[in-house]
Structure 1
Amino acid sequence: MNTLTPRETVSELDKYIVGQNPAKRMVAIAMRNRWRRQQIDPALRDEIAPKNILMIGPTGVGKTEIARRLAKLAGSPFHKVEATKFTEVGYVGRDVESMVRDLMELGVQLVRQEEAEKVRVKAEKSAEERLLDLLLPASRQSEAAFYGGAQPAVPASAAEEAQSTREKLRQLWRKGALDDKQVEMDVTVPSPSVEIMAMPGMEELGSQFKDMFSKVFPQKKKARKLKVREAYDILIAEESEKLVDMDKVAESARERVEQTGILFIDEIDKICGRSSQGGSGPDVSREGVQRDLLPVVEGCVVNTKYGMVKTDHILFIAAGAFHFSKPSDLVPELQGRFPLRVELSALGKDEFLRILTEPQNSLTVQYKALLATENVNIEFPLEGLDEMASFAQKVNDETENIGARRLYTIMEKIVQDLSFEAPDRGGETVVIDRAYVRDKLKDVAEDRDLTRYIL
């Protein structure tokens, strides 16, 4: 389990997310409390439930990104769901327990990758031996056929010569001299997929039937010619699969999901009743979805194909803009299950400028790397970035406020022509200054209707 202090967690989040310090501090404390809980006597540990968090703020201010980065820092299984995808049991759609099953699947994948990494050295060694067998097949196959599978009595000199040849090939392989050479090997062909139409609320049963049918059809092998490097990667995957104990993986994954899993429920404001919005149309199961969410959030047991999963200690982070509703419009029982609430502030010009300059994965860094592949160097002086930030704030104020996502649209509009011409402009350096930005945005800046549709 991650042992970062709250201060260290906030510092790590600062590398990718600008501002929103109250939200960062709150999730950092929640993460540290998980570590603290593990240090407590088991008798008391089970009594300490996680304090679920409700993030309130407009779109594009960093709600999802905070939760995603937090899960990555903690090495926790993380799954994001849209509350609007769920329907009350009895309606056509997904039931709320499916998010726990999805989280369990992600947990199994996470643990499987970790276990595969642990046995990678042993898998690489076995894969290398199998690869050398593929590179020296002729003598081995002819001997086995002649002696009916029994091992022949090979003269010492011949055995030494074969071993010498094998070692020479090993050295050539390790130096990379054989990467482009082709070998023929048997590759597993996926078995035919069987789609099961499950009744609403019975998705898990459908999944189990699908798994059962996939095992009925045995996996087939097909001979293919591959480059040595590709064959080696396939062999490593096969050897890793042999070495990893999937029963142990499933058990470990279930433990991790139950103790450190994070479920992020976005758009939770969209399942509030219509009464608060002044509407009179049909309210299809919105309150029903809230009531179905309630037992999962407060703690229940969900049946998955890997066994029963308890949700008592899964951390739930809900988020919503709450433009047309407010947290108090949720059913009272669900409100009580999200005791920690934090409001994220809207972003303005200063925040946009920081987003373009500070994060390790900022848009400017991404576009520089993309165009560098075409040998085109682009530079972003501060004046150009300042102009982009100003324009982003202006468009958000005049049309729809979509937060930092506006920067993606503006940046793409600015570099669109350059991206198209990049293959023909190798070796050039392009400076995206204030004049360049204004030139590329002048059409949409002058026409408000065009701005509404393009940006």
Structure 2
Amino acid sequence: MLDCIEHLTPAQIVEELDKYIIGQKDAKRNVAIALRNRWRRMNADENIRKEIVPNNILMIGATGVGKTEIARRLAKIADAPFTKVEASKFTEVGYVGRDVESMVRDLVEQAVNMVKTRKKEEVKVKAAEMVEDIILDALIPPIQGRAGAPVSTTSTDINGVPDSDYELNERTREKFRDKIRNGELEDRKIEIKIQHSGMPGVGVMGPGMDEASMMNIQEMISGMMPKKTKKRKVTIAEARKILLDEEAAKLIDMDEVKEEAIFKAENSGVIFIDEIDKVASSSKKGGGGPDVSREGVQRDLLPIVEGSTVNTKYGVINTDHILFIAAGAFHVAKPSDLIPELQGRFPIRVELQSLTKEDFYQILKFPKNALTKQYEALLAAENVSLTFNDEALDEIAAIAYEVNSEVENIGARRLHTVMSRLLNDILFDVPDKIGANAQIVITREMVIERLSDMVRNRDLSQYIL
């Protein structure tokens, strides 16, 4: 289950993270160790395996420095179910808001989808054969003869031997099967039957009901209602897409999927709790008001992070070995403002550094998903070549850093607004004024011309950047 990280050492995990995230070495090292420890635990002696609990991580840093991206990329490397929640969306039990257990249900849902997708891929070839038969039946329906009925003859083959209707039908079907496989009939329309629940939305009168209970009720009612089929006239290409998913689902054992998904969520799941500083009480003084509710949320989070069982629609899940990564800016509150029990459940603390001008330059140039590469790919779709020279990237980085320093520090997200403003006119003019095969080079002079006025006008920068 955790074989995908078997050959990745902590150093190699950091290398993988370096492809997408610039800087933050301490954070990368700690999450790499945490990830490798998942595999180590699964391969440890059985007598102690259950006793080894993950070292949950608390990331401290301003917005836009890479906290969420590190956690998300970590889950992708491990092929692990991942869910991100904002602690500020939760409310103490008894108040209107999201139940803290919903984050575990979201994680299990993610795990089920991952396992289903993988298992559908495994049966894809068999499902494709079944879809081919359904499409062929819609084009040339097979002859259904009665047992013991005389076989009629309607034609003669090349040797002068009479053909039965059945043999003629089979030969025609084989010809059309070849055409389907060769893609010659993709635009021909056929009528197919597809399943749909047809279940109306369910409303509940009276006291509010949490989302999990509502989903369970809807699923239960859906299971009791008979499955309806609906006829649709679509092209063969569309029919193949619609039917492939349906037929693959029929070949999957859902009990096996649920069992595997729960194991995956329990042993390799990652829950990222963002904005945890928003539920920390900003002072230790007693009193009422919002601080009471914040402390209530922390006490509701505590048993989940400590390790407890949560009921989901797929079964009971134990949270003992789920890796929790919490994050917050902690501008007002401090990590010590969290209740001591919750602090103790996040023993690894990492402070992420604010991004420098050099960091911005590297973010624009090196990551696989760099913004510059994204814009180049967008314009390549219009057959327009877009390139940035180094001086331009340096100037963009300087402007982003300057605006962050003078207006509000939103980290790497500032690059999105700067780049959007820089390239707006080009994106609008393609393809009307700037045609295919055009080559656009972004220079330092162009960057200064389009962005310098906004940087000078600080009041305007607050609204535009």
The TM-score with structure 2 as length reference comes to: 0.92
Counterpart amino acid of 1:426?
G
1:164 match: 171
Q: Please list the CA deviations of residues 128-159 of structure 1 after superposition, one character each: whole Å capped at 9, or x if unmatched.
A: 1111111213xx3xx54xx6799874665543
Q: Could you tell me which amino acid in structure 2 is paired with residue 442 of structure 1? A: S
**Residue 256 of structure 2 is aligned to residue 252 of structure 1:** no
C-alpha distance in structure 1 between counterparts of 2:431 and 2:292, whole Å: 52
C-alpha distance 278-436 of structure 1, shift in aligned 2 (>3 A): farther
The AA in structure 2 aligned to 1:417 is D
Q: 1:41-120, aligned counterparts within 5 Å?
A: 41-120=45-124
For 2:256, give the aligned amino acid. K
Shift in Å, 1:290: 0.3
Query: Counterpart of 2:201 in structure 1: which amino acid?
Result: V
Deviation digits for residues 288-337 of structure 1, max 9, x if unmatched?
00000000000000011111110001000000111111111100000000
Task: Identify the residue that residue 236 of structure 2 maps to in structure 1.
Answer: 228
State the AA in 1 paired with 2:453: D
Label 1:210 to 1:446 Cα distance change in 2 as closer, same or farther (>3 A): same
Tell me how far 1:220 sits from its aligned partner.
2.3
1:380 equivalent in structure 2: 388
1:129 matches 2:133: yes
Q: 1:22 aligns with which of 14, 23, 26?
A: 26
- Secondary structure in structure 1 of the residue aligned to 2:112: helix
Give the match's secondary structure for 1:285.
Answer: helix
- CA deviations over 1:343-375 (Å, ceiling 9, x no partner): 111101100000001011111111011112222
From 218, 221, 233, the counterpart of 2:226:
218
Residue in structure 2 matched with residue 175 of structure 1 by the alignment = 182
Calculate the TM-score normalised by the size of structure 1. 0.94
Cα shift at 1:162: 2.6
2:439 maps to 429
What SS does structure 2 have at the residue aligned with 1:442? helix
Offset, 1:206: 2.3
For the Cα contact (< 8 Å) 1:276–1:325, is it kept in 2?
A: no
Q: Which residue does the alignment assign to 2:158?
A: none
Matched, 1:338 2:346: yes
CA distance in 2, matches of 1:432, 1:64: 30
Give me the whole-angstrom Cα distance separating, in 2, the residues matched to 1:203 and 1:158. Answer: 58
The question of 1:352 aligning with 2:352 is answered: no
Q: Which of 177, 188, 191 is the matching residue for 1:184?
A: 191
**Code of the aligned partner of 1:92:** V
Further displaced range: 2-11 or 348-357: 2-11
User: Do the aligned partners of 1:90 and 1:201 also contact (CA within 8 Å) in 2?
Assistant: no
Q: Does residue 1:446 correspond to 2:456, yes or no?
A: yes
Partner Cα separation in structure 2 for residue 320 and residue 154 of structure 1? 80
Out of 374, 386, 389, which is 2:397 matched to? 389
1:431 alignment partner, SS class: strand
Q: How many aligned residue pairs are there? A: 449
Identity in percent: 55
Counterpart Cα distance in 2 of 1:438 and 1:413: 12
Closer/same/farther in 2, CA of residues 282 and 49 from structure 1, 3 Å limit: closer
Q: Deviations along 1:393-431, whole A, 9 cap, x unmatched?
A: 000000110000000000000111111110211232111
The answer for the alignment partner of 1:262 in structure 2 is 270
Describe the shift of the 1:268–1:165 C-alpha distance in structure 2 as closer, same or farther (beyond 3 A): same
Change over 3 Å in CA distance of 1:148–1:355 after alignment to 2: same
1:187-336, aligned counterparts within 5 Å? 187-197=194-204, 202-275=210-283, 282-283=290-291, 285-336=293-344
- Structure 2 gaps of 5+ residues are 154-162
- Indicate conservation of the 8 Å contact 1:89/1:200, yes or no: no
**Distance verdict in 2 for CA 1:28–1:193, change over 3 Å:** farther
Residue 404 of structure 2 is aligned to residue 400 of structure 1: no
Alpha-carbon distance, 1:216 to partner: 3.4
